[in-house]
Amino acid sequence: MASLSSPCFLLFTAILALVSWQALASDPGPLQDFCVADNSSRVLVNGFVCKDPKVVTAEDFFLAAKLDMPRDTKISKVGSNVTLINVMKIAGLNTLGISLARIDYAPLGENPPHTHPRATEILTVLEGTLYVGFVTSNPENKLFSKELRKGDVFVFPQGLIHFQFNPNPYKPAVAIAALSSQNPGAITIANAVFGSKPMISDDVLAKAFQVEKKTVDWLQAQFWADNHN
């Protein structure tokens, strides 16, 4: 057995620390109390350049978001409206690794299958009922799903495809979600696959989905609207 001071043990410890850091890291951690985003800077970094702390004010950490007000779900073909509060809305979120969203669902509305490439999401139902779930990666592609009621909480692991659906045909639903990134990103699967610009070859999609090309052409001809604002 190697001693605690041996080169092999020290190398192993260094590698383990590096791997653990990569496993735990999401957004870069702050090295000071805050790093308010300077949206006027032309310097390109992973995130945003810090504003001079001497000119930071309370307004940099504030947004009159009116998250207590219902959103219009009729503007979306999928019957939902996602109001995301991220670093683009509150500059003070820069480097803090967190954002927030209010999701409104019409009766039978859904937040369709999507992923957040940079964040884990924890969602709580404020009103109504939601059927939610996520699917694991290949090869299992196992579905974990649950029906949530007011006050229930559910977690969607980072990067996994997930969804929420309001099964009630008469009453709307509302949820609040926290995400572990200042800019979690969202990839709506149907929009990305069938609404990409330029379009993915229908030969590719027909083979991938095992359908006729005319089916792919029809899907690509649809208007794939975004439900985020």
Whether residue 13 is predicted with pLDDT greater than 50 in this model: the reply is no
pLDDT grade for 223, boundaries at 50, 70 and 90:
confident
Structural domain spans, the chain: 25-185, 188-228
pLDDT digits (tens, 9 = 90+) for 83-125: 999 999 999 999 999 999 999 999 999 999 999 999 999 999 9
- CATH code of the domain occupying 25-185: 2.60.120.10
pLDDT at 3: 53
For residue 121, say whether it is annotated as part of any ligand binding site: yes
- Among 33, 42, 21, which Cα is nearest to 60's? 33
pLDDT greater at residue 20 or residue 196: 196
According to the model, what pLDDT value does residue 209 have?
A: 96
Distance (Å, rounded) from C-alpha 115 to C-alpha 135?
A: 10
The mean pLDDT value for 144-150 works out to 98
What SS3 state is found at 125? strand
228 is an annotated ligand-binding site residue: no
Q: Is 116 annotated as a binding residue?
A: yes
**Angle, nearest 10°, between helix axes 202-209 and 213-220?**
110
Which pLDDT band holds residue 17 (cuts at 50, 70, 90)? very low
∠ Cα 78 127 146 (to 5°): 70
Count of other CB atoms within 10 angstroms of residue 224: 16
- Is the torsion defined by CA of 135, 137, 140, 141 positive or negative? positive
d(CA 156, CA 72): 25
Distances (CA, A) of 64 to 60, 68, 128, 179, 180: 12, 11, 25, 19, 22
* Residue 140 marked in a binding site: no
CB neighbourhood size of 162 (10 A): 22
What percentage of the chain has pLDDT greater than the value 90?
Answer: 75
Question: Are the CB atoms for 220 and 194 separated by under 8 Å?
Answer: yes
212 vs 210: CA distance, rounded Å: 7
Per-residue pLDDT at 77 exceeds 90: yes
172 touches 129 (CB < 8 A): no
What does the pLDDT average to over 171-193? 96
Give the separation between CA 164 and CA 158, rounded to whole angstroms.
Answer: 16
Distance CA 90, CA 220 (A): 35
161: phi > 0 → left, psi -120 to 50 → alpha, else beta; which? Answer: beta
Task: Flag whether 162 is marked binding.
Answer: yes
Average pLDDT, the chain: 89
Burial call 114-131: b when 16+ CB within 10 Å, e when fewer? bbbebbbbebebeebbbe
